Structure 1
Amino acid sequence: MKFFRTAFFLFCVFAATGVFAQSSSELKRRRDKYTEELEQLNREYQETASNKKVSLKQLNILKAQINLREEKIANINSEVRNLDNQISQSNNTVRTLQSQLDQLKKEYAGMVLFAYRNQSAYNKLMFIFAAKDFNQAYRRLKYLQQFGTYRERQAGYIQGTQKDLNNKIVELDRNKKQKNNLLTEQEKEKETLGKEKTNQVKVIVDLSKHQGEIKKQQRDVQKRIAQTRRQIDIAIRKEIEDARREAEARAAAAARAAAAAAAKAKAENKEVVGPSVSKKTITKASTNSEVLNATPEATRLSNDFLGNRGRLPWPVANGQLVHGFGTYTDSEGIRNDNPGYEIRTANGAAVRAVFEGEVVKVMDVSGTYLIIIKHGEYFTAYSNLRSVNVAKGQKVSTKQSIGTVATDPSSGEAEVIFALYQGKTVVNPKLWLADN
């Protein structure tokens, strides 16, 4: 029973270790990702820093570096806490295994002493022949046989426990070393973060000398974003109106066909047969969702799009989120209302559709392109594109390239703005896009 209790305890320990391992693996993956993105940003910053003139791009890269580095430090903190839990668990396991090993050795020593005192064949025979009857003699014989087998098995338990103990000690030492390495890395990251914040202050001071010019650039950007949003609203409203007219036309045609069939049946003195399937008629009172899902194909596409909520790919293969959905105020005090995701990516990077659908709008907005794709009752918009390779009415598939991102000549940054709508309602892409 002691052996089974020990085995059950070890099973629980190893199961918990498996959970820790999975969590540690995910945290390490994130840390590696942060490191890779920071290296890319550092290369971009070095390129801009070689230019004697301080630019808005330098400030934006520094902001991105600071945000990423703070996230990386937080991730390292999570890794350290995870390792602390593992170290605590390992310490408890080592103490338990040591206690079990001491008990097993004590019991084994008692068995060895007993075997030593009864090692001669004469003593064993006397032990058997001293029985009261044949049944007791048989049981004593079996006892001696089982005692030898149990002693061998007990020696195996000792060896196995000793091996588990040594493995746990090795794992404990490895975790302690890994924790020390993480703490060292964390200190380096904090030191680098301090330097970046100092650089940020310096860049802001330098840029303040050109504050008027920079604010004008930012207002121009916000003006373009507002103009893009108006164009998206107009395009979606037009799609809904067109869909309503088409649905009403289909309903009117169906009604005329039914009336003609009824008149013909009456003229021929036949029974008037009504429609076999009752369909909802689209009227001016119908909701936008009903209008956009008026056809089986549109309904299927809407359901498929909804079914992939939280799993949609990003509109670029590699990119960092600059600003998320909603209202924010930048460091220059300008209030911005972001209708989607502003994603920084490489110059000339391909922009791709996040789901299958139909292109309903391709237009030029202040020198860059806007593409809108319809997915049943859902719409996705991709703006700030330098070039496009799709046309209105074209069917596209998931991850299909639809164009390339534009680079802002004033800041030198390549950013795509992605927005998502359900009907005319803008929604937060965070709820729909997969983790990048």
Structure 2
Amino acid sequence: MKFLKVVFFIIAVFVAVDVHAQSSAELKRRRDKLSDELEQLNKDYQETAQNKRATLKQLSLLKAQINLREEKINIINSEVRNLDNQISESNNTVHSLQNQLDQLKKEYAAMVLFAYRNQSAYNKLMFIFASKDFNQAYKRLKYLQQFGTYRERQAGYIQGTQKDLHIKINELDKTKQEKSTLLADQQKEKETLGKEKNNQVKVVSDLSQHQGQLKQQQREVQAKIAKTNREIASTIRREIEEARRRAEAEAKEAARIAAAKAKAENRPVPVAATKPAAPRSESSALNATPEAAKLSNDFLGNRGRLPWPVANGVITQGFGVYTTPEGIRSESTGVDIRTNPGSSVRAVFDGTVVRVVDVSGTYLVMIVHGEYFTVYANLRSVSVARGQKVTTKQSLGTVATDSSTGETVVHFEVYKVKDPNNPKIWLAPN
């Protein structure tokens, strides 16, 4: 029975270690990916830094580097916490295995002592012949045989436990070394982050010497954002009204058919036929048809699993209120995703294109998915038209590259009716 407990304990330990290994492997994968992205950003920055005059592109690249490096430091913190948990569990396992080994050795020593005291053939024969009857003599003979087998098995348990203890001690040493390496990497990243923030301050200072040009560019950006927001709001309002009109028309037609049928059958006209119900809320209007309701449910069911609007990219500006390095307070109703020049912009889910419009030189595409909307802005060209049905990952066009910053960024938003959602919670982990 003790042996089974030992086996189950060891199995439980290795299962727990496997779960930690999976979590640690995912964190390491994300850390390595961020390292690759930071390396590429650093190359881009070094190219722009050769220009003696500070540029918006330098500032943009530094901002992206700082965001990614802070994310990498957070991931390292998570990895260190994981390793601390593993170290704690390993220490507990080592302690338990040592206690089990001590207990096994005590039991084995007692058996060896008993065997030594009864090692002569005469004592064994006397033990058997002292039986009351044949059955008892047979049982005593079997006992002596089983005792020898059990002693051998206990010796095997001791060797196995010693081996497991040695493995766990080695794993513990390896985990401690890994933690030490991570802490050194974390310190290095913090030092680099400090340098990047200092460079950011310097670039902002250099740019401030050209405030006129900078403010003009900022006004243009803010004007484009405002125009984009107006286009989105007006499109959503229009879609809600059109959905409501369609629902009302369908309700009236259904009421007319019901009234005609009642009249033909010489029955009273139903109340619903005299006062057809119309959708009461904006959400119910957008979900008035079974097709739209199903699309809404399917879209919601894929929360956290939607493909990214570009095949490769990194978020450089998140969702919500933020302050730019120049001290300007702003709010983003979506995310900016930096990608490669000429990249294709893709639909993240099945739906219908409801808006394609030029916004200050670049295109904006809106798609409706039941009561949800997705927005794709800063496209250089488009390959879809209003009213066209699209499928997941279908190309909508190509992303534009900003001539003033040299950045290739697509702006992506998600709405539930009129409310903007954080796109990051909808997209699959990158």
Structure 1 residue 356, shift from structure 2 partner:
0.4
Match of 2:57 in 1: 57
Q: What residue in structure 2 maps to residue 174 of structure 1?
A: 174
Q: What one-letter code is carried by the residue in structure 1 that aligns with 2:282?
A: N
Deviates more, 1:226-235 or 1:239-248: 239-248
Q: Distance in 2 between matches of 1:336 and 1:186?
A: 31
Structure 2 Cα separation of the partners of residues 33 and 341 of structure 1: 19
Aligned partners of 1:258 and 1:88: how far apart in 2? 72
Please name the residue that 2:400 is paired with.
406
**Equivalent residue, structure 2, for 1:208:** 208
Deviation per CA, 1:270-328, whole angstroms, max 9, x where unpaired? 534878x9999454x73222222222222221221222223222222222222222222
The 8 Å contact of residues 255 and 276 in structure 2, kept in 1 or not, is answered as no
Could you tell which deviates more after superposition, 389-398 or 340-349? 340-349
**Aligned partner of 2:409 among 405, 415, 418:** 415
8 Å CA contact 2:258–2:273 kept in 1: the answer is no
Superposition deviation, residue 407 in structure 1: 1.3
CA distance in 2, matches of 1:77, 1:184: 12
Q: Secondary structure at the match of 1:170?
A: helix
Verify the 8 A CA contact 2:256 2:273 in the aligned structure 1: no
1:341 paired residue among 330, 335, 338: 335
* Distance in 1, Cα, partners of 2:273 & 2:115: 91
Distance 1:304 1:421 in 2: 15
TM-score (norm 1): 0.90
Shift of 1:60: 1.7
CA contact (8 A) 1:363 1:369 kept: yes
Aligned to 1:330: 324
Letter of the aligned partner of 2:407 in structure 1?
E
State the shift of 1:334 in Å. Answer: 1.4
1:390 to 375, 384, 388: 384
Q: Deviations over 1:4-51 (max 9, x none)?
A: 443343233223323322221222122112212212211221232233
Alignment of 1:317 onto 2:311: yes
**Higher mean Cα deviation, 425-434 or 208-217?**
425-434
Change (3 A) 1:282 1:342: farther
Aligned to 1:146: 146
Paired residues of 1:282 and 1:290 also in contact (CA < 8 A): no
Stretches (4+) displaced over 6 A? 277-280
The 1:430–1:117 alpha-carbon spacing in structure 2 relative to 1, beyond 3 Å, is: same
CA distance in 2, matches of 1:356, 1:115: 78
Partner of 2:93: 93
| Gaps in structure 1 of 5+ consecutive residues | none
Counterpart in 2 of 1:360? Answer: 354
Distance 1:377 1:280 in 2: 26
User: After the TM superposition, which residues 49-198 of structure 1 pair with which residues of structure 2 at under 5 Å, given as runs?
Assistant: 49-198=49-198
Match for residue 306 of structure 1?
300
Which range moves more in the overlay, 403-412 or 120-129?
120-129
> Are the counterparts in 2 of residues 369 and 384 from structure 1 also a CA contact under 8 Å?
yes
Identity rate of aligned residues, in percent?
69
Structure 2 SS opposite 1:420: strand
**Which letter maps to 1:66?**
I
1:84-115 CA distances to partner (integer Å, 9 max, x unpaired)? 22223222322332232233233323323433
**Aligned residue in 2 for 1:40:** 40
Tell me the matched-pair count: 429
The two structures have a TM-score, normalised by structure 2, of 0.92
Q: Secondary structure at the match of 1:348?
A: coil
Q: Deviations over 1:180-199 (max 9, x none)?
A: 22122223222322322222
How far the C-alpha of 1:135 sits from its partner, in A, is 4.1
Q: State the secondary structure of the residue aligned to 1:119.
A: coil
* Residues 313, 354 of structure 1: 8 Å contact kept: yes
Q: How far apart, in 2, do the equivalents of 1:105 and 1:169 lie?
A: 19
For the 8 Å contact 2:67–2:316, the answer to whether it is kept is: no
> In structure 2, do the counterparts of structure 1 residues 106 and 219 end up closer, same or farther at CA, with 3 Å as the change threshold?
same
**1:37-85 superposed Cα distances (whole Å, 9 cap, x missing partner):** 2122112212322333321111121122122212212221222222222
- Post-superposition CA distance 1:148-197 (Å, at most 9, x none): 11111111111211111121122122212212221222232223223222
1:273 and 1:305 map into 2 onto residues whose CA distance is 42
**After alignment, is 89-98 or 247-256 more displaced?**
247-256
Q: For the residues of structure 2 that align with 1:385 and 1:416, how far apart are their CA atoms?
A: 7
| AA matched with 1:183 | L
Distance 1:142 1:235, change over 3 A: same
